[in-house]
């Protein structure tokens, strides 16, 4: 009888530990799951890329890029587009103390198309959630790499 109690308590402890480990790994997955977005940065390991469940615009976790050093970092995704078609990409951005070395319209948080100069307006400093938009024409392209960029130069 005592042996059965020990087995029962051992099983309960095992399952509690198992559930705790599952919750931990699920939270890590949610924090670092970028939904097919890739991440890139000019200087490696200077920028943190995470999914933020605390500071978000809607019910969906936000994408967060943070860096205390000067860098050029981006979450991007390759998407298919139709040739010679106008597109509009919109997102909500919140900034916190984005400082730049140069007074440049290229610095700050923006929407960008990789390997081009096409980008939205850039936001620097500290601001609450605001909408930014990128209007572009696909020209002769069938796909583009579009991303959400933090450029501290």
What is the C-alpha separation between 82 and 93, in angstroms, rounded?
Answer: 27
Task: Give pLDDT, residue 44.
Answer: 92
Asked if 42 contacts 72 with a C-beta cutoff of 8 angstroms, the reply is yes
What is the C-alpha separation between 114 and 116, in angstroms, rounded?
Answer: 5
Low-confidence ranges of the chain (pLDDT < 50): none
Output Rg (C-alpha) for the chain, integer angstroms.
Answer: 21
- List Cβ neighbours of 77 (8 Å cut-off, separation of 6 or more): 36, 37, 38, 145, 146, 147
Instruction: Residue 33: count other Cβ atoms within 10 Å of its Cβ.
Output: 11
Asked if 110 contacts 122 with a C-beta cutoff of 8 angstroms, the reply is yes
In CATH terms, the fold of domain 38-152 is Jelly Rolls (2.60.120)
- Nearest 5°: phi and psi at 141? -90, 150
For residue range 81-123, list pLDDT tens digits in order.
999 999 999 999 999 988 777 666 678 899 999 999 999 999 9
% the chain with pLDDT above 90: 54
Domain locations in the chain?
1-32, 38-152
Task: Give pLDDT, residue 131.
Answer: 96
- Nearest 5°: phi and psi at 111? -100, 130
């Amino acid at each position: 009888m005592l042996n059965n109690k020990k087995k029962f308590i051992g099983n309960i402890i095992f399952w509690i530990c198992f559930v705790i480990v599952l919750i931990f790994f699920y939270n890590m997955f949610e924090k670092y799951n970028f939904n097919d977005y890739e991440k890139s940065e000019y200087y490696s390991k200077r920028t943190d890329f995470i999914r933020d469940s605390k500071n978000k615009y809607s019910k969906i976790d936000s994408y967060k890029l943070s860096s205390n050093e000067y860098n050029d970092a981006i979450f991007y995704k390759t998407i298919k587009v139709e040739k010679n078609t106008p597109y509009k990409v919109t997102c909500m951005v919140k900034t916190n103390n984005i400082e730049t070395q140069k007074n440049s319209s290229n610095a700050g948080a923006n929407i960008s198309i990789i390997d081009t100069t096409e980008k939205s307006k850039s936001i620097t400093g500290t601001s609450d959630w605001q909408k930014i938009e990128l209007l572009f024409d696909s020209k002769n392209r069938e796909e583009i790499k579009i991303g959400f960029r933090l450029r501290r130069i």
